[in-house]
């Protein structure tokens, strides 16, 4: 039995609340029916112990016994190795999951980051730059929708 401990912040500023990356890990753990505990750390008081687990002072990180892993993509791959629900053993299906994991982290998230920063900064929505980011993100999401809407 795994003793997963997912570390998150005890408080998140209002603007990114609901968008922090621990939701990815929680979702995977729940989907795979893996038992875990949440350990919350101070948002304001990041000491040496925090940086020993996450060198950038962020969250989440996952502890499994004497293993500590940071970065949500790395954590998801680690969990996938422990659950065929998350990462199938069939090579074709396994590759598809890994492709989509990288796509989510690189092609989708990177397209949404500038858009989110503008939204969180309360920048005017009618500026040319804002409209370009809206269009770029919409294009990524539409391409994804056309593929994923045909799948379970």
Question: What whole-number distance in Å separates Cα of residue 151 and Cα of residue 44?
Answer: 42
Q: Tell me the pTM.
A: 0.84
Q: What do you get for the CA distance between the two ends of the chain, in Å?
A: 29
The tens digit of pLDDT for each residue in 78-104 reads 999 999 999 999 999 999 999 999 999
**Would you report the helix, strand and coil content of the chain in percent, each value rounded to 5?**
50, 15, 35
Confidence of residue 16 (pLDDT cuts 50, 70, 90): low
The tens digit of pLDDT for each residue in 64-80 reads 999 999 999 999 999 99
CA 25 and chain centroid, separation: 7
Which run of H or E residues covers position 105?
Answer: none
Cβ contact 76:62 at 8 Å: no
């Amino acid at each position: 039995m795994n003793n997963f401990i997912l570390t998150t912040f005890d408080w998140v500023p209002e603007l990114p609340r609901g968008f922090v990356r621990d939701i990815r890990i929680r979702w995977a753990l729940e989907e795979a029916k893996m038992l875990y505990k949440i350990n919350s750390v101070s948002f304001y008081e990041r000491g040496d112990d925090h940086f020993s687990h996450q060198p950038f002072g962020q969250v989440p990180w996952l502890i499994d016994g004497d293993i500590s892993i940071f970065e949500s993509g790395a954590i998801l791959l680690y969990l996938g190795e422990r659950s065929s629900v998350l990462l199938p053993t069939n090579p074709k299906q396994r590759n598809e999951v890994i492709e989509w994991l990288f796509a989510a982290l690189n092609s989708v998230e990177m397209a949404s980051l500038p858009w989110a920063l503008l939204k969180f900064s309360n920048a005017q929505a009618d500026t040319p730059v804002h409209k370009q980011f809206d269009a770029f993100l919409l294009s990524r999401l539409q391409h994804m929708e056309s593929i994923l809407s045909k799948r379970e």
